[in-house]
Amino acid sequence: MTFNIETQPGLSIACLGGHVDTLNAGELENTLVALADTGENQLLVDCTTLEYINSAGLRVFLLVAKRKEATGGKCAFCGLTTNVRLVFETIGFDRILTVYESRAAALAQMQPLSQAAA
């Protein structure tokens, strides 16, 4: 699993790559929850290089999105690979989470908000 954080005005971007599984989901949870709590008001999880995720990782996505929205923030996901998109659709995450096709599409929606907030 790789995890990099980028910060733009009003927007934290977490670039998640590689494999998220039962063994490293706890580490992902700690990192993403910390970013959701201390980062910018909007959180974008960029999954462009995420090759594999199982239910342990999906549970973290759900938890973080709920947490972010409960505190009035926004949470979105972008750049799902074919496999990750399939699991998102299978468990209905595409309907309850905000998902953008690509990072560019996500920024087009989220950046105007962050600029307005700045």
Partner 1 sequence: MRPGNLSTRLNVNLGETVLVGKIVREFGQWHGIPEDALFVVNLSLDELVTNIVTHSQKQPPPPKEIVLRLSTVKDEVRAEVEDDGCAFNPLTMPVPDVDAPLHERDPGGLGIHLVRSLMDSVNYQRVGTRNRLTISKKVA
Instruction: Report how far residue 23's alpha carbon sits from residue 105's, in angstroms, rounded to the nearest whole number.
Output: 32
Q: Does 87 bind partner 1 (CB under 8 A)?
A: yes
* Span of 4-12, 32-40, 57-65, 109-117 interacting with partner 1 by CB under 8 A: 57-65
Maximum Cα–Cα distance for the chain, whole Å? Answer: 40
Q: Does 117 bind partner 1 (CB under 8 A)?
A: no
Instruction: Report how far residue 22's alpha carbon sits from residue 17's, in angstroms, rounded to the nearest whole number.
Output: 15
Residues 40, 11 contacting (CB under 8 angstroms) = yes
In the complex, what is the shortest distance from the CB of residue 115 to partner 1, in angstroms, rounded to a whole number?
Answer: 26
Which chain residues interact with partner 1 by CB under 8 A? Answer: 19, 21-23, 52, 54-56, 58-59, 62-63, 65-66, 69-70, 82-83, 86-87, 90-92, 95-97
